[in-house]
Amino acid sequence: MEKLWTTSEVAKCLGIPDGEVQRLVQQGELTGYKLGGQFLRFRPEQVQQLKGKLRVRSAVPQPSRPKKLLSLVPVRDFLYFNDFYIVSAMLLALLVVYLIASG
């Protein structure tokens, strides 16, 4: 069984920040595999293929884009993976308030 790479290992190989790896996955340029529902892992051969494509692309100058000041990706991921617990806590809080008010 081959060893899958973490986001940090991919970023180091490609010479880009970890957040850029997430962007490549979201844009469909790099395939990431979720383990345990939340940990992204990558196949080394797919990363190497992308590395070759990125070299070709980097030779062509691209217009600069303004940087985002605040990324909502971590918040979205938190809500996605913890939605059950958040809803359960809210329902429990409502139940406690109801019991206190009625009793």
At 49-83, the pLDDT tens digits run 888 887 655 544 556 666 666 677 778 888 888 89
Note if the pTM is more than 0.75. Answer: no
pLDDT digit string, tens, across residues 29-54 = 888 888 877 778 889 998 988 888 87
- Fold exhibited by the domain 1-61: Multidrug-efflux Transporter Regulator; Chain: A; Domain 2 (1.10.1660)
What pLDDT sits at residue 55?
67
More confident residue, 63 or 25: 25
Residue 103 pLDDT > 80? no
3-state secondary structure the chain: CCCCECHHHHHHHHCCCHHHHHHHHHCCCCCCEEECCCEEEECHHHHHHHHHHHHHHHCCCCCCCCCCCCCCHHHHHHHHHHHHHHHHHHHHHHHHHHHHHHC
